[in-house]
Every structure is written in C-alpha cells, then in structure tokens.
C-alpha cells in the first residue's frame, strides 16, 4: 500500500492510469463469481473498486467476499476510466487492507423507520442522502456569508448566554449562571443592533435556542440563524435586502448542487429556478383576506399558522413577503407604522411549496419613550434592557434587519419534509441524543 500515493476520490480524475491508494469505508458490495464490486466511500465521493480473482492473492479475494458494510479499509489499485460510473472512473484493485471489520452495522440498505434512524444519527450521517443534504447546507452557509462579506457587512458575534428575552418569555431556556439566571439566546438581534450603531452594517450568525413545546416539522429547539442589521434602513429597504439575499443564495446553491439536488434528493428544480425578483409583497391584512377567501376561517389579529402559511404561499410561484402585522402579536422592539399604529413594521418571508416562514424581521423602534412603553406592555423588566435603551439615548437612528433560519432554508432548498435532517444532530422537544 505504501508505494502508491494516497488520494481522495474527489481528485481521482487527476490520476487516470496511475496506481493510487484510497482510504475509506465499504459502503456496499456485490459479487459475481470472479469479481467483487466494492463501493468505497471516503467522504469526498464514492468509487467502485473492482477485485478480479486473477489479480489478487486467493486469501484476499476470499476475505473481500466477507467484508462487512462500513468496514474501514485501504485499497490500492489502478484508476480506470469508466463511462457507466457517475464518477467517470473505477479502481482496479491490486491490494486491500482492513483497518477495522465492522460487524453487524445497524443501518442496512433495507428501510428503517425515522425514529430508528434518528437514534442512530451518528451513523445515519454516512448515507448518500445525508451527504447531499449536509453539502447543500455547507453551501447555503457559505453563500450567506459571501453575500454579506461582499457587501461591506461585518460579522458580529452575539453572546449565547444572555440576561434577557428577545423573542418573548415563553420559549426561554434558563441556565444557572453562578448566583443569577441566564438564558440561552433566542436571537442575536438586540446585540446586532448595537453592532449596527457601531459598524453600520453587520450580520450575526450563530446558534439560537427556543424552548419550543410544539412538535412540528419546522421547529427545532436549537437552530442556526443569520441576522443582518443595518443602520439607516427602513422596512422597504429591509424587504429589498431580504429579497436580493434569497435570490443570491438560491442561485449559488443551484449552480453548485444541481446533480445532488436532482439525483440524490429528487428535488424538483423548477420552483427553485423561479426564485427571482420581484417577490410579491402583501400586507398581513391582505394575507388574512386571501386565506379566509381560500376557505380557511381566519380573522384579523389571528396568528398565521403553518397551514395558513401554506395556503397563502401556494397562491404564488415564488417566496412571498407578508408585512405590517398587528403590533400586538409581535415582539416589543418593532417600530409601529406611523400611518396606523396598530401595525408593526415587520416582514415575514414565506417559502413556496409549503416550507413556511424562513425569514422574520423588520424595522426597529428607535424612540426610547415608545420602547419603554412597549417593554412594559409586554411585561418585560426594564433593567436587563437598559443597555439596549442606551442605543436610543445616544445617536439613535432608524434601522432594520431580519433573521433567516438556516435549517428551514435547507429543508426548503433540499425539498425535505422535516427540519430534523437539515442539521447533523437535531434538537427537538423529544430529542437530546445522540
């Protein structure tokens, strides 16, 4: 094994005709008399490694026949062009070493239930479908960061341990913090606002936490959120930013993952290709009328739930922006619409095809007296927010931002029914392990 250079499967095309060594795991195997076909994966790709009886010692050929799924192995052989393989190449094996023979791997090619697979998530991650999802996730995160980095935003890390609630007190995770209480952050936004007053345009990107008691296909208790925040921006500018950003992220992912989306995840790409400007922008009031007219009883002031979101989103061929919600159903920090103070200058972006709300944001209240009233109305103690009010005491300006949930975005782009597959180790009300 030692003489041949160790290469990754993704680089195999650079080694046609050469002898190389691969290190990886046995994904699957079939045999036909004088031949064993081993599907070897190394994390960067999967290649068919062919053992011909006449090419290798007899014991090796016999041992390869018994090689269990997910055995860790090293193989040496010649790289051959092969038009039938998706990779374009296969390996003609000369030598094979077993690092560890994995007996009784719990995930076999037969169908397993989701609960079983989630319990074995640490192993389920080795399947082709999960590789595709995690690579798309990686590209989404990269596209998100590139978008802001290329436009003069500064990455601004917000704390995870916080003294106060950002998104209401009903979904707070409390943690003992020496002789006081802390909460896991629900959103980095309030800190992002401090960042915007310091650096103009920032984005917070990190894990966020919600003690969500709901068991839905869209809710995790730990999820990643990217939150741009921009000084001197109003709601219209915020909607322009969200729209431009989403178009850019989807285009980036389509350009890189067409094959994985189509072939591995069986995603219909047409709806993704339609993610182009302009997105329809409708008010909450119009949204309620549309939903009610579509046969879902709903009145002004009601929350737009998951089912209603789907009804509304299905009326459009691309993401839809719903703006100006009743202030009573929104967080304390939203600026009221000066034309109708019952309304908050907020916007949600609903993904098409029933994937639900992927973005929530809006314009922030910049007046200190109005904010103090809003805090009181929502029963929030003023003390932990005093630093936040300072931002309005010294050089307050109009500003806006939004939060995009990474997992819901991955579910939408990959076409996954449930967010549990969008992150390596999902956390839900029912699951803290593995």
Residues contributing to the site for ligand 4AD (CB under 6 A): 166-167, 187, 189, 210, 212, 219-220, 223, 225, 227, 357-361, 401-403, 405, 407-408, 419
Q: How many residues are recorded in the chain?
A: 434
Stretch of 93-101, 190-198, 330-338, 360-368 contacting Mg ion, by CB under 5 A: 360-368
- What span, in angstroms and rounded, lies between the C-alpha atoms of 47 and 278? 43
Question: Considering CB distances under 5 to 8 angstroms, the limit depending on partner class, which of Mg ion, ligand 4AD, none binds residue 166?
Answer: ligand 4AD
For Mg ion, which is the closer residue by CB, 352 or 360? 360
SS3 category, 409: helix
CB 388, min distance to ligand 4AD, A: 13
For ligand 4AD, which is the closer residue by CB, 110 or 215? 215
For ligand 4AD, which is the closer residue by CB, 60 or 233? 233
Stretch of 13-21, 72-80, 355-363, 365-373 contacting Mg ion, by CB under 5 A: 355-363
CB 290, min distance to ligand 4AD, A: 20
CB 346, min distance to Mg ion, A: 8
360 binds Mg ion (CB under 5 A): yes
Phi, psi of 191 (to 5 degrees): -70, -35
- Strand 201-209, strand 222-231: pairing: antiparallel
For ligand 4AD, which is the closer residue by CB, 182 or 242? 242
The candidate with the shortest Cα–Cα distance to 403, out of 277, 221, 245, 283, is: 245
Question: Considering CB distances under 5 to 8 angstroms, the limit depending on partner class, which of ligand 4AD, Mg ion, none binds residue 222?
Answer: none
- What span, in angstroms and rounded, lies between the C-alpha atoms of 299 and 43? 51
User: DSSP characters for 137-160?
Assistant: HHHHHHHHHHHHHTTT-EE-PPPS
How many amino acids of this chain bind Mg ion (CB under 5 A)?
A: 1
SS3 category, 106: coil
Binding mask 303-342 for Mg ion (x = CB under 5 A): ----------------------------------------
Question: Considering CB distances under 5 to 8 angstroms, the limit depending on partner class, which of ligand 4AD, Mg ion, none binds residue 225?
Answer: ligand 4AD
- Strand 336-337, strand 340-351: pairing: antiparallel
How is residue 170 annotated by DSSP? G
Q: Is 213 exposed, middle or buried (0-12, 13-18, 19+ CB in 10 A)?
A: exposed
Question: Considering CB distances under 5 to 8 angstroms, the limit depending on partner class, which of ligand 4AD, Mg ion, none binds residue 187?
Answer: ligand 4AD
Name the residue whose CB lies closest to Mg ion: 360
CB 357, min distance to ligand 4AD, A: 4
Question: Considering CB distances under 5 to 8 angstroms, the limit depending on partner class, which of ligand 4AD, Mg ion, none binds residue 219?
Answer: ligand 4AD
The verdict on whether omega for the bond into residue 434 sits within 30 degrees of 0, i.e. cis, is yes
Stretch of 262-270, 359-367, 385-393, 417-425 contacting Mg ion, by CB under 5 A: 359-367
Contacts for 125 with CB less than 8 Å, ≥ 6 apart: 134, 424
For ligand 4AD, which is the closer residue by CB, 219 or 257? 219
For ligand 4AD, which is the closer residue by CB, 197 or 419? 419
Q: Is 305 exposed, middle or buried (0-12, 13-18, 19+ CB in 10 A)?
A: middle
Residue 285: CB atoms within 10 A of its CB come to 15
H or E stretch at 25: strand 19-32
CB 419, min distance to ligand 4AD, A: 6
230's tokens: 């921009």
Task: Please report, as ranges, the residues that interact with Mg ion according to CB under 5 A.
Answer: 360
């Amino acid at each position: 094994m030692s003489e041949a250079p160790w290469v990754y499967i993704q680089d195999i095309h650079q080694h046609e005709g050469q002898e190389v060594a691969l290190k990886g795991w046995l994904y699957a195997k079939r045999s036909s008399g004088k031949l064993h076909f081993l599907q070897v994966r190394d994390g960067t790709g999967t290649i068919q490694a062919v053992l011909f009886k006449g090419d290798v010692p007899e014991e090796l050929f016999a041992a390869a026949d018994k090689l269990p799924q997910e055995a860790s192995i090293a193989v040496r052989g010649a790289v051959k062009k092969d038009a039938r393989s998706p990779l374009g190449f296969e390996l003609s094996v000369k030598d094979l070493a077993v690092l560890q023979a994995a007996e009784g791997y719990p995930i076999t090619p037969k169908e397993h239930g989701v609960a079983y697979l989630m319990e074995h998530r640490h192993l389920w991650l080795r399947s082709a479908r999960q590789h595709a999802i995690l690579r798309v996730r990686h590209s989404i995160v990269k596209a998100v960061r590139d978008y802001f980095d290329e436009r003069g935003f500064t990455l601004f890390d917000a704390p995870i341990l916080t003294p106060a609630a950002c998104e209401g007190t009903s979904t707070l995770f409390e943690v003992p913090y020496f002789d006081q209480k802390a909460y896991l952050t629900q959103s980095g936004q309030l800190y992002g606002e401090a960042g915007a007053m310091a650096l103009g345009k920032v984005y917070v990107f990190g894990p966020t936490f919600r003690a969500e008691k709901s068991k839905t296909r869209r809710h995790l208790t730990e999820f990643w959120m990217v939150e741009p925040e921009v000084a001197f921006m109003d709601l219209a500018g915020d909607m322009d930013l969200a729209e431009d950003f989403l178009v850019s992220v989807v285009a980036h992912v389509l350009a890189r993952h067409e094959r994985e989306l189509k072939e591995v995840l069986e995603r219909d790409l047409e709806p993704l290709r339609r993610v182009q400007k302009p997105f329809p922008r409708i008010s909450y009031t119009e949204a309620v009328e549309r939903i009610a007219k579509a046969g879902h009883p709903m009145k002004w002031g009601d929350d737009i739930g998951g089912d209603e979101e789907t009804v509304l989103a299905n009326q459009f061929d691309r993401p839809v922006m719903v703006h100006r919600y009743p202030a009573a159903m929104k967080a304390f920090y939203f600026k009221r619409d000066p034309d109708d103070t019952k309304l908050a200058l907020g916007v949600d972006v609903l993904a098409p095809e029933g994937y639900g709300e992927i973005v929530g944001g809006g314009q922030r209240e910049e007046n200190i007296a109005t904010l103090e009233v809003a805090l009181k109305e929502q029963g929030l103690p003023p003390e932990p927010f005093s630093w936040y009010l300072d931002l309005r005491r010294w050089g307050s300006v109009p500003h806006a931002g939004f939060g995009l949930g990474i997992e819901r975005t991955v579910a939408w782009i990959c076409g996954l029914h449930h967010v549990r597959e969008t992150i390596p180790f999902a956390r839900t009300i029912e699951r803290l392990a593995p």
